[in-house]
Amino acid sequence: MMDKTKILLLDDREENLLALKAILNRDDIAIYETTSANEALRIVWDNEIAVALVDVQMPGMDGFEFAETLASNPKTREILIVFVTAISKETTYAVRGLKSGAIDYLYKPLDPYITNAKVDALIRLSRSQREIREKNRLLENYATIVTNSPDIIATVDPETARILSINPSVHTILGLPPQSLVDTSMLDLLVDPLNSGLKEVLISRSYMEGQTIVTEDQFYGRLREPLWLELRIMFKNRLLFINLHNIEKRKAHERELVEAQAVAEKARKVKESFLANMSHEIRTPLNGILGIANLLDATELDSSQRNLLDMLTQSSGSLLNILNDILDISKMEEGKFSIIPQPTDLRNVGKSIMDLLKFKGDEKGISLGFYVDSKIPDCVMVDGMRLNQILMNLVGNAIKFTHQGSVNLRIEHDGLVENHHQIKFIVADSGIGISEKNIKNIFSEYGQASEETSHHYGGTGLGLTISKNLVKLMKGDLKVKSEVDRGSEFYFTFLLEEDAKTSQKAAVISFNDLPPFTDKKVLVAEDNPVNSLLIKKYLTTWKIATTMVVNGQEALDALAKSEYDLIILDSRMPVMDGFETARYIRNTLHLDVPILSLSATVLTEEVQEALQSGMNDTLSKPFQPAKLHEKIETLMYSLI
């Protein structure tokens, strides 16, 4: 709804005011009336009067003097004054009125139609003048903003990119006087005008009325140094209004981030390469040690030799655990670690751990105890391999730091939570304990309770870190309670779903007892002589006709002479490695013979590279003969 126009009625006679009010009785007019010129001056000062109908002859201050007073003050000079008189229509009289500031006359007696018509015209004129004044004020404000803006603001011809106006900030930012840029092309200020965002906007004419387009370009700044500016371009009234904001700091920060990311990526690749090499260098001889242990296990041994073989196997297993711990930490850091729940019998998990570590307890003369709550289901869904890793670390640590007394593993049932069993795992010992000062260090990476701990007891300090992270990944929280010389208790709780299946523990089968592969030919490329000997022993025991070579090139030479049912390639070999060989077999020879990769690393990247190169499956060293047998059976029969 439009605001009412304020009109002042000034006449020294009340009856005249009443007559005027009756004529101007309209909804779009707000009337202020008075019989005193001084009172009228107060009214116009306090209110935004648009039109004043003023009687000419009044005592004290007549209409001419009143009009002159209004015209002399900036606050009231815009009021439209109409004299109302019954004295004379002579030209000289009217001229005096117009000179005093009036714009028209109304003659008594007033004609209502003429009066309303003139008032309508005056209202329209007043509103137009007010709009013009407001626009002028806005323009003045905009001009002030543009002049003092820290950004460059320019108007540009959209057809030619010619600068029509530009504010003083161009001198501050680019070191160029604004007056020298008018009528020049803004493209001339760019470092690379042919490939600029501004030129693309001008050519594509992608702008629409009132729409803002944002782009970035490099301009020549002070001393001709390149400077990044962000351009916000608006098309209005057939002109481009462009705001240019200095984003050099942001760009510098982006460059730093890119460089930091490149450094981090390089460091990641160096670390990845180191881990792969370390894994390969350790796993390759370790596979030989465990393989020889398997060969020895298949021979007749007396009790003393059997004990030595058991110690050899245990020591190799410990070394493998340390290696796996280091790789697991790396995987967790990179978010590449996955938890896979499977049907698991918690009783079997706990018993296997205590049976495996019993010899360590016997060596130290401490008792090992194992308790499982009868309420715990026979089978639950949990990542049994990772749970085994957690409990093996905790129980192994407890034995390491206990000189007398006992180490106990308890699995307790703490009730049901929405169809899930709340199961608590506790490893308690009567060992040396941990002080309150040192307890905060035990979960830190490569950290132990103190330097003396590592010196006296050995270890990498990774076991608890990995256990803590594994428990967290499995939605639990590993906690500890401990007192010095009174022992420690590590515990965590999982919510596990019951599974109707029964978990079966795989029986350990000697490679001699595995079924043979009759009339099958296998080509093996392996450069390590010990591993080569072991693989050939396994394969010949399984009645496989085996051809052994030491690198990929020799494997290709063998393929040129004969056909094979399976190819086994070590991933890292001299002359030509397993990946190159697999790619050549698939892409050049176009053979679809199954290929198994033998890798001394367990990194996800190397597994992916093996599959991408054309290999069908991978087997990580060290491996058990039964696992190799299983892979061979799958590849030779399932892929046919």
Q: Are strands 29-34 and 544-549 parallel, antiparallel or unpaired?
A: unpaired
**Residue 215's closest CA among 224, 204, 225, 98?**
204
For the stretch 20-47, pLDDT in tens is: 888 888 888 899 999 999 999 999 999 9
The rounded distance, in Å, linking the Cα atoms of 596 and 604 is 16
Token representation of residue 62:
């007549």
Phi, psi angles (nearest 5°) of residue 606: -75, -35
> Is the pLDDT at 83 greater than 60, yes or no?
yes
* 126 pLDDT tier (thresholds 50, 70, 90): confident
Lowest pLDDT segment from 100-109, 340-349, 417-426, 598-607: 598-607
Lowest pLDDT segment from 7-16, 129-138, 419-428, 566-575: 129-138
For the stretch 395-414, pLDDT in tens is: 988 999 999 999 999 999 99
Torsion of the alpha carbons at 446, 450, 454 and 455, rounded to the nearest 10: 150
Per-residue pLDDT at 345: 92
Per-residue pLDDT at 587: 95
* 523 pLDDT tier (thresholds 50, 70, 90): very high
> Are 619 and 598 in contact, with CB atoms under 8 Å apart?
yes
Q: Are strands 163-166 and 152-156 parallel, antiparallel or unpaired?
A: antiparallel
At residue 174, what is the residue type? Answer: L
Per-residue pLDDT at 327: 65
> Is the pLDDT at 454 greater than 50, yes or no?
no
Phi, psi angles (nearest 5°) of residue 510: -70, 145
Per-residue pLDDT at 446: 45
The rounded distance, in Å, linking the Cα atoms of 494 and 476 is 6
- For the ranges 17-21, 91-95, 281-285, 524-528, the maximum mean pLDDT occurs at 524-528
CA atoms within 13 A on the CB side of 67: 26
The percent of residues above 70 in pLDDT, for the chain, comes to 88
- Which whole number is the average pLDDT over 580-609? 88
The rounded distance, in Å, linking the Cα atoms of 327 and 620 is 13
Mean pLDDT (the chain, rounded): 85
The percent of residues above 90 in pLDDT, for the chain, comes to 40
Token representation of residue 174:
């680019």
DSSP at 618? E
Q: Are strands 239-246 and 152-156 parallel, antiparallel or unpaired?
A: antiparallel
- Which whole number is the average pLDDT over 75-104? 76
> Is the pLDDT at 388 greater than 90, yes or no?
no
At residue 414, what is the residue type? Answer: D
pTM over 0.85: no
460 by Cβ neighbours in 10 Å (0-12 / 13-18 / 19+) ranks as middle
The rounded distance, in Å, linking the Cα atoms of 410 and 556 is 56
Query: In degrees, to the nearest 5, what angle opens at C-alpha 628 toward C-alphas 327 and 359?
Result: 60
| Beta-strand runs (E) in 211-346 | 212-220, 226-236, 239-246, 342-344
- Which whole number is the average pLDDT over 125-129? 84
SS3 state of residue 467: helix
